[in-house]
Amino acid sequence: MIIKRFTAQTAPKAMKLVKDALGLDAVIFSQKTLDKGSANERVEIMAAIDHDTITSPPLPNPEPGATTGGAGYGYQTVRKQATQKKPVKTRPKPKKRQAQAPESQKVRQNFSRLLQEREASLRPKTVPPKQLKTKATIWRDEIIDQVQALPVAQSSGNDPIIIALVGPTGVGKTTTAAKLAAWYHIQEGKKVALLTMDCYRIGATDQLRTYARIMHLPCEVAIRKKDLEQAIARHWDTDVIIIDTTGKSPYDTDHIDELAEWFAEIASLQPLLVVSATTKKEDLRQIVQVYDALEPHSLILTKLDETRTYASLCQQVAASNLPVGYLTMGQRVPEDFIVPDKPLLDTFFKKGWSALEQHIN
Ligand SMILES: Nc1nc2c(ncn2[C@@H]2O[C@H](COP(=O)(O)OP(=O)(O)O)[C@@H](O)[C@H]2O)c(=O)[nH]1
Ligand SMILES: [Mg+2]
């Protein structure tokens, strides 16, 4: 880089010196007035240029008082200020390409088309997103199709319908037993009796007794297998007997064996497996598998209000091969309870929560 100082009586004159000496690509580092107010007042410009861009040799001062020399730093190029029309140095213009013969043009076009075709054939085949969505929807609908609705079966003759709610702890068995009792008693006008085998927790029986008292329904506790058989016999004249059971871990197989033994003697008993929508996929699979030993009649899906994602639940229900008998979506007894038909289950698993909302009072 060459750095020079230029002085002249006025700024335009000093700038002309810069242009003449360094050309239009010169960079102005500084400009200041020297001996301001005196007879010797003049303008000093510090300018620089790269060796490569020097376009013309530095000229001697064209007028008295004009000088060049020195060093500095700056930010401005002369080109911006130049009034001179023609640049001293011009970049050589690229040579004009000779017009191609039509023959060779054709060959080039064919070649690039072949290249494009080959690239396209090598690209991995991806399914367009729209098509993917359709496939996912088809797959989802196939799963939903497998989910069937089936309310509790009617009993033969004058025998009562006997239902037992089984399932893990805290899924809503007792609450749902009360909802079912209310539905049969209030909606269907049936004569209902409540039995509970749940003496495991302190106060567990009180929960169902309280519901029974409010609905003016009989409620009995069965601590032993014999108690259960006798209680059923006592309420044989009712339309529906609803049995609440103790919840245990789905990994406690002894509990399932014990229940199976209790139920073995009661021929028309329909076990309903209560599962919560908030249960994790793997646990749900385990629950369905373990309770299969009791040959459940159907599923009761509870706590549908506690989530908004039902795809995994739908898959598990379909995989269980068990129909869905009832849905619950809240703690209110008897309101938060639905006896779904197949179209409602379809809409629910397709649209989610909004499909249930309109059925809630
Ligand atoms: N959010 C919601 N809570 C529920 C539902 N069903 C039951 N519960 C609540 O879940 C808790 C456990 O219910 P409970 O009937 O005692 O379960 P159990 O141990 O299976 O008998 C209670 O606080 C119930 O009020 C439901 O559908 N939605
Ligand atoms: Mg309970």
| 101-145 pLDDT tens trace | 566 666 667 766 776 776 676 666 666 666 666 888 888 999 999
Other C-beta atoms closer than 10 Å to the C-beta of 251 total 11
Measured in Å, residue 331 CA sits from the centre of ligand 1 at: 6
Residue 118's φ and ψ, nearest 5 degrees, are -65, -45
171 in contact with ligand 1, CB cutoff 6 A: yes
Structure tokens at 19: 């242009």
71: Cα within 13 Å, side-chain hemisphere = 2
Q: Where are the beta strands (DSSP E) in the chain?
A: 2-8, 27-34, 42-49, 67-69, 76-77, 161-166, 192-196, 219-221, 240-244, 269-276, 298-302, 324-328, 337-338
Candidate from 166, 171, 173, 175 with most ligand 1 atoms within 8 A of CB, to mutate: 175
- Alpha-carbon distance of 141 to 145, in angstroms, equals 6
306 in contact with ligand 1, CB cutoff 6 A: yes
DSSP state of 157: T
Residue 63 has pLDDT above 50, yes or no: no
Handedness of CA 185, 190, 191, 196 (dihedral sign): negative
Residue 135's φ and ψ, nearest 5 degrees, are -65, -45
Which atom belonging to ligand 1 lies closest to the Cα atom of 177? 15
Return the minimum-mean-pLDDT range out of 47-56, 194-203, 341-350, 352-361.
47-56
Terminal CA-to-CA distance of the chain, rounded, Å? 87
Structure tokens at 325: 């008998």
Give 182's contacts (C-beta < 8 A, 6+ positions apart): 211, 215, 333, 334, 337
- Alpha-carbon distance of 136 to 128, in angstroms, equals 12
Structure tokens at 127: 């399914």
The confidence score (pLDDT) of residue 125 equals 64
Report which of 306, 310, 319, 318 is spatially closest to residue 347, judged by C-alpha positions.
310
Measured in Å, residue 176 CA sits from the centre of ligand 1 at: 8
Rounded to 5°, angle at Cα 98 from 96 and 101: 155
Query: 118 or 26, which is more confident?
Result: 26
Rounded to 5°, angle at Cα 361 from 185 and 273: 55
Average pLDDT on 205-227 reads: 91
DSSP state of 149: B
Residue 257's φ and ψ, nearest 5 degrees, are -60, -40
The ligand placed nearest to the CA atom of residue 177 is: 1
Instruction: For each of the domains in the chain, give its residue range(s) and CATH number, in order of start.
Output: 2-81 (3.30.70), 145-357 (3.40.50.300)
Q: The whole model's pTM is what?
A: 0.67
The ligand placed nearest to the CA atom of residue 248 is: 1
Residue 87 has pLDDT above 70, yes or no: no
Question: What confidence category does residue 47 fall into, taking pLDDT thresholds of 50, 70 and 90?
Answer: confident
The ligand placed nearest to the CA atom of residue 334 is: 1
328 in contact with ligand 1, CB cutoff 6 A: yes
Average pLDDT on 155-182 reads: 93
DSSP state of 276: E
Candidate from 242, 278, 331, 333 with most ligand 1 atoms within 8 A of CB, to mutate: 331
The confidence score (pLDDT) of residue 89 equals 52
pLDDT digits (tens, 9 = 90+) for 256-285: 998 999 999 898 999 999 999 999 999 999
Residue for token pair 């379809």: 346
Question: What confidence category does residue 314 fall into, taking pLDDT thresholds of 50, 70 and 90?
Answer: very high
Residue 179 has pLDDT above 90, yes or no: yes
Residue for token pair 């299969």: 292
